[in-house]
Amino acid sequence: MNSRKIKTWAWVHKWSSLVCTLFMLLLCITGLPLIFTHEIRHLLGTEVEAPKMAPGTPHISLDRVLEIAKARHPDRVVQFASQADDDDNLWFVTLTHTPEPTDDFKSVAVDARTGVVLAQPKFDEGFMYVMYKLHVDLFAGLPGKLFLGFMGLLLLLAIVSGVVLYSPFMRKLDFGTVRRDKRPRLKWLDLHNLLGVVTLVWLFVVGSTGMINTWADLLIKYWQHDQLSALLAPYKGEPTVPVAERGSVQRSMEAAMQRAPDTKLSFIAFPGTSFSSPHHTTFFLRGNEPFTSKLYQPVLVDAKTAEVTAAPKLPWYLTALLVSQPLHFGDYGGMPMQIIWALLDIATIIVLGSGLYLWLKRGNPVPASPKAAAHEKPAPDASSQPEPAPAMKAQA
């Protein structure tokens, strides 16, 4: 590669790294506890669990569950109802003042067998909530998500440009070399490059899936406009179905489960909410296998008649979104994968931190002692090499 191309790639790497480094550090630090969300909530005592009962204990009607939850907040409407991934004995009912998306919500956890209210968890406060909001949207809603998505794009540019720069930089060094006998800046440069190699694939996967996740709201809105609008043509002009005129939710759920056998219920979106239509109760079902459990099959049930209207297949872009979400947090392989994700996250924090250190020290090199200078051979990182940038100087 000629010097002009090296300078061009070095410029791309430097500025893409400079702009995104601090935000990537924030995302790595906040993402670390999010990998262990359930475990941390369990330790903090905020994880809601259904009490143990004899296997096969019958469940009460879903309609009754919703009545019990609404009795706690009679001035609100039911927006969503969901079940835990590994426990169908517990219902989480979300209630808001209006069906539209809002941060003002209440959650009620109801035992599916006894109807006892187990807790009213507050998902909008506490340490994990702060970590989640900083990681997802910086407490800025959709603009914050899109901004972090742009930072993710810059991260991918920094990774690609780092790969391009890595080969000429390491021409005169063995792979994985860390020059411990040199001045601190050189040692950190070598460590930065070595950890960059180790985390390359993981960081690219996590960065790209994170960027896709920031588009979730826009992709869902496009899906509603592109596909659901055609399905709702027969209901054009009709108002949102009033609560008093809705049929049995239990009967609607049974009809949805019959339409998509060998699936489990993930969550229910009620009429007028962001994941449904003004005329349907929409059931999102998931598979039973590790992979298919991350993919949803929506089933639209007429809110009045409790009859299935449609069960559209999700388009490819929503499938990509659903696959990327658990992959981003290592939520596929249980605890072993979570530990691997955490170790790689820590390594990435070191890569980002060392890149920032190298950038700050670029104009203040530590002079070698006269004795050392007399015996030291010229280092292969000489001035002909491009300056390191905070994210990944020679990320590879």
Question: How far apart are alpha carbons 346 and 356 in whole angstroms?
Answer: 15
Residue 295: pLDDT band with limits 50, 70, 90:
confident
pLDDT at position 255 is 96
> Once rounded to an integer, what is the mean pLDDT over residues 244-260?
93
Output the pTM of the full model: 0.80
Query: How large is the average pLDDT for residues 356-379?
Result: 52
The amino acid at 380: P
Question: Looking at per-residue confidence, does 241 or 267 come out higher?
Answer: 267
Provide the pLDDT for residue 168: 66
pLDDT for res 383 = 33
pLDDT for 238 beyond 70: yes
- State the pLDDT at residue 69: 97
Domain boundaries, the chain: 1-46+124-237+331-363+378-396, 61-120+242-303
Specify the pLDDT at position 177: 63
Whether the pLDDT of residue 395 is over 70: the answer is: no
pLDDT in tens, 160-199: 888 888 766 666 666 556 666 667 777 777 777 777 777 8
Taking the C-alpha atoms of residue 319 and residue 292, their distance in angstroms, rounded to an integer, is: 10
What pLDDT score was predicted for residue 171?
A: 62
348 against 371, higher pLDDT:
348
Q: Give the pLDDT confidence score for residue 394 in this predicted structure.
A: 33
Mean pLDDT of 276-289: 89
> Residue 1 — very low, low, confident or very high, per pLDDT cuts 50/70/90?
low
Cα gap 18→89, rounded to integer Å: 49
Query: SS3 helix, strand, coil % of the chain, rounded to 5?
Result: 50, 15, 35
- Contact between residue 200 and residue 159 where contact means Cβ atoms under 8 Å apart: yes
Report the share of the chain in percent with pLDDT over 90: 44
Per-residue pLDDT, 84:
79
Instruction: Tell me what the mean pLDDT of segment 124-132 comes to.
Output: 91
Tell me the per-residue pLDDT of 331-367, one tens digit each, with 9 for 90 and over: 776 788 899 999 999 988 888 888 887 788 775 544 4
pLDDT band of residue 377 (cuts 50, 70, 90) is very low
In whole angstroms, what is the distance from residue 243 CA to residue 148 CA?
39
Rounded to the nearest 5°, which phi and psi values hold at 93?
-110, 125
Task: Tell me how crowded residue 127 is: count the other CB atoms within 10 A of its CB.
Answer: 12
Residue with tokens 């009795």: 71
Report which of residues 382 and 368 the model is more confident about: 368
pLDDT range class, residue 284, cuts 50, 70, 90: very high
Give the pairing of strands 280-286 and 87-96: unpaired
Residue 332: which of 304, 293, 284 has the closest Cα? 293
- Residue 330: per-residue pLDDT: 80
Q: Above 50 in pLDDT, residue 86? A: yes
**Helix ranges (DSSP H) in the chain:** 3-35, 37-44, 62-72, 127-136, 141-169, 184-213, 216-223, 229-231, 249-259, 316-328, 334-360, 370-375
Band (pLDDT 50/70/90 cuts) for residue 302 is: very high
Average predicted confidence (pLDDT) for the chain: 83
Whether residue 120 has pLDDT greater than 60: yes
Q: 130 in helix, strand or coil?
A: helix
Q: Name, of 15-24, 67-76, 283-292, the range with top average pLDDT.
A: 67-76
